[in-house]
């Protein structure tokens, strides 16, 4: 299958590209910066409609994985650019997919689409959504746009509300859940880490292998089984910075974690602690494979090979 991936240089893109190549797809990986991938690559600013259509015209993709985004903290620092990348680019990609008759398109939503009046425990698929950060506002708007393109135009569009995604090989920049990756690197390199959230702040997380398998399983499901055209809840695991620090101390007893909460604390407190994901389980067989101990073991083994 001919596949187009945008934002391929990001955390999920770097793990998804090898998985797509392994299943035999012909992949065009695009990003705003050069990419060191063993596949076709191209520079692409997804907010440039002319450049986007040129890529579609040249590549003629059958599937599109739209991963380009500004994360939560970065969106607060550059709100106009964040809106263009997190909302406007979705509109442009959806229109291009319709015009070029793409079979299926995936885009990444986020738990940031929820808000302070959302139930925090076992957050339902359908519930109050009143995000306070621009990233979440753009994601919620994109969910409504996604559903509109599906019902109004018949676009086979699919999405997941990702929690924090954890994996080796890529240091995420500009996200509220980034501490969960940065803590591992800081522990190995310096033996200490200063976290920008309070120690007891619990958030849902997902190991990168589970994230990639969720995307592939969702996209491989027959159209008639897809009941959600906004974005699916999925639950992996939930933990706080102090719980992660305790797991790391089992490997590095001398590791210390300090806490200096900043503006990201307010965003984190408006997000769920855990998600109810029965529809993802029923529709396309979602099931996470990693809990906190197995996640830490996988990270530890991977980082010892690279750090």
CA distance 243 to 152: 45
CA distance 137 to 153: 24
Residues 184 and 50 in one domain: no
**CB contact set of 156 (below 8 Å; sequence gap of 6+):** 103, 104, 105, 150, 223, 226
What's the domain count of the chain?
2
Q: What is the pLDDT of residue 170?
A: 74
Residues 221 and 243 in one domain: no
Q: Examine the residue annotation and report whether 135 is marked as an active-site residue of this protein.
A: yes
Does the pTM surpass 0.85? The reply is yes
**pLDDT per residue as tens digits for the range 4-53:** 999 999 999 999 999 999 999 999 999 999 998 767 999 999 999 999 99
What average pLDDT does this structure show over 228-248? 97
The answer to whether residue 282 sits within a structural domain is no
Residues 151 and 73 in one domain: yes
CATH of the domain at 188: 3.90.25
Q: What is the pLDDT of residue 270?
A: 94
What average pLDDT does this structure show over 219-225? 98
The answer to whether residue 225 sits within a structural domain is yes
Which band of pLDDT confidence, cut at 50, 70 and 90, is reported for residue 176?
confident
Q: What is the pLDDT of residue 307?
A: 54
Express as a percent the part of the chain with pLDDT over 90: 91
Q: What is the pLDDT of residue 285?
A: 98
The answer to whether residue 60 sits within a structural domain is yes
**pLDDT per residue as tens digits for the range 89-143:** 999 999 999 999 999 999 999 999 999 999 999 999 999 999 999 999 999 999 9
**pLDDT per residue as tens digits for the range 132-175:** 999 999 999 999 999 999 999 999 999 999 999 999 987 777 78
Residues 192 and 80 in one domain: no
SS3 helix, strand, coil % of the chain, rounded to 5? 45, 20, 40
Q: What is the pLDDT of residue 171?
A: 76
For residue 218, give its domain range.
2-164+208-233
Residues 149 and 180 in one domain: no
Q: Are strands 203-207 and 237-239 parallel, antiparallel or unpaired?
A: antiparallel
**pLDDT per residue as tens digits for the range 61-84:** 999 999 999 888 888 889 999 999
The answer to whether residue 49 sits within a structural domain is yes
Q: What is the pLDDT of residue 174?
A: 74
Residues 155 and 178 in one domain: no
Residues 118 and 186 in one domain: no
What average pLDDT does this structure show over 178-194? 94
User: Is the pLDDT reported for residue 56 higher than 80?
Assistant: yes
Q: What is the DSSP letter of 200?
A: T
Asked whether 248 and 188 are in contact (CB, 8 A), the reply is no
CATH of the domain at 28: 3.40.50.720
Tokens of 87: 């909302």
The answer to whether residue 281 sits within a structural domain is no
Residues 40 and 151 in one domain: yes
Label residue 100 exposed, middle or buried (CB < 10 Å: 0-12, 13-18, 19+).
middle
The answer to whether residue 179 sits within a structural domain is yes
What average pLDDT does this structure show over 256-269? 95
Catalytic residue, chosen from 37, 65, 135, 207, is 135
């Amino acid at each position: 299958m001919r596949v187009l991936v945008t934002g391929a240089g990001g955390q999920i893109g770097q793990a998804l590209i090898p998985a797509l190549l392994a299943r035999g797809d012909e992949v065009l990986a695009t990003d705003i910066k050069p990419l060191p991938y063993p596949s076709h690559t191209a520079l692409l600013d997804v907010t440039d409609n002319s450049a986007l259509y040129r890529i579609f015209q040249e590549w003629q993709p059958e599937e599109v994985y739209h991963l380009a985004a500004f994360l939560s903290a970065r969106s607060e620092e550059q709100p106009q650019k964040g809106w263009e990348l997190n909302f406007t680019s979705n509109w442009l990609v959806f229109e291009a997919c319709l015009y070029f008759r793409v079979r299926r398109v995936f885009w990444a939503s986020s738990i940031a689409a929820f808000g302070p009046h959302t139930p925090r425990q076992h957050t339902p698929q359908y519930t109050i959504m009143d995000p306070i950060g621009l990233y979440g506002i753009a994601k919620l708007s994109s969910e409504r746009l996604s559903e509109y393109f599906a019902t109004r135009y018949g676009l086979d569009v699919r999405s997941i509300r990702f929690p924090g995604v954890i994996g080796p090989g890529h240091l995420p920049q500009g996200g509220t859940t980034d501490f969960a990756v940065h803590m591992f690197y800081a522990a190995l390199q310096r033996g200490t880490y200063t976290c920008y959230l309070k120690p007891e702040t619990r958030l849902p997380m997902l190991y990168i292998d589970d994230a990639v398998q969720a995307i592939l399983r969702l996209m491989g499901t027959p159209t008639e089984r897809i009941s959600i055209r906004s974005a699916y809840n999925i639950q992996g695991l939930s933990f706080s910075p102090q719980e992660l620090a305790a797991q790391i101390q089992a490997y590095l007893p001398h590791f210390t974690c300090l806490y200096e909460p900043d503006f990201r604390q307010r965003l984190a407190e408006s997000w769920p602690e855990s998600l109810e994901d029965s529809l993802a389980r029923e529709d396309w067989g979602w099931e996470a494979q990693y809990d906190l101990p197995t996640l830490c073991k996988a990270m530890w083994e991977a980082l010892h090979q690279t750090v």
